[in-house]
Amino acid sequence: MAVKAVVFDVGRVLYDWDRRYLFEKLIGDREELDRFLRDVVPLDWHDQHDAGRPIGAMIEERVSQFPAHERLLHAYRDRWLETIPGPVPGVHRLVEQLADRGVSLFAITNFGADFWAMFRPTAPIFDHFSDIVVSGIEKVTKPGDAIYRLALERFGLAPGEGFFIDDSLPNVEAARANGFVAHHFTDAETLRVALTTLELLPGQADDMEHIG
């Protein structure tokens, strides 16, 4: 069965993301910064928001555990958009090219509902997307099977019709096990080659012929 839709991850595929981008503005000492990220806002704590827990409740609970870091914890809630410095180079151009060719575009993202509500209005690239499965809204996360099954149903895709792109190898492997053709993302050029191989984008020679 031929691939007919492209399904993107968001963080570190469409947009760069790292908690460090915010907190290096607020914590001048490198060792203190590393310790804060490791002990106060570790990724497994952040993952609770991706799984559906409200960020407000998470922050207040953390403040009770780390009262000396109240200001920084509130900054995580209020200035979270500063953890996203901008698009991953080259990928938005691929999205625009796919959209121009009429390829159906979707996304599956581990993203908290509160943070998604903050972020989505700042990201017009998603105007090209027909639907986006957001883990914090659905309360299921990658690489669990349920989110991929939900996505196939929501997107109206049969197994083998969706080409899924993610920077996390476990997410890619889970997608393959649940009906997607999948690509482990490293950079825009490698992705472009993969999309060309699937005939979702023209090759460079085709582009030159069209320009000529």
**Same structural domain for residues 77 and 125?**
no
How many folded domains does the chain comprise? 2
- Euclidean distance between CA atoms 169 and 197, whole angstroms: 21
Q: Which residue range is the domain that position 100 belongs to? A: 5-15+86-211
Name the pairing type of β-strands 162-166 and 5-8: parallel
**Same structural domain for residues 40 and 145?**
no
Three-state DSSP class for residue 121:
helix
Q: Which of 31, 136, 125, 26 is nearest to 78 (CA)?
A: 26
**Same structural domain for residues 49 and 128?**
no
Residue at which a domain ends, from 40, 60, 83: 83
pTM: 0.94
CATH of the domain at 180: 3.40.50.1000
Residue at which a domain ends, from 83, 114, 137: 83
**Same structural domain for residues 78 and 104?**
no
**Same structural domain for residues 73 and 136?**
no
- Euclidean distance between CA atoms 192 and 198, whole angstroms: 10
The dihedral built from the CA positions of residue 27, 29, 32 and 33, taken in this order, carries a sign that is positive
**Same structural domain for residues 44 and 100?**
no
DSSP state of 179: T
Three-state DSSP class for residue 33:
helix
Per-residue pLDDT of the chain (212 residues), as tens digits, is: 699 999 999 999 999 999 999 999 999 999 999 999 999 999 999 999 999 999 999 999 999 999 999 999 999 999 999 999 999 999 999 999 999 999 999 999 999 999 999 999 999 999 999 999 999 999 999 999 999 999 999 999 999 999 999 999 999 999 999 999 999 999 999 999 999 999 999 986 545 343 33
List strands edge to edge, sheet with 131-134. 131-134, 104-109, 5-8, 162-166, 181-184
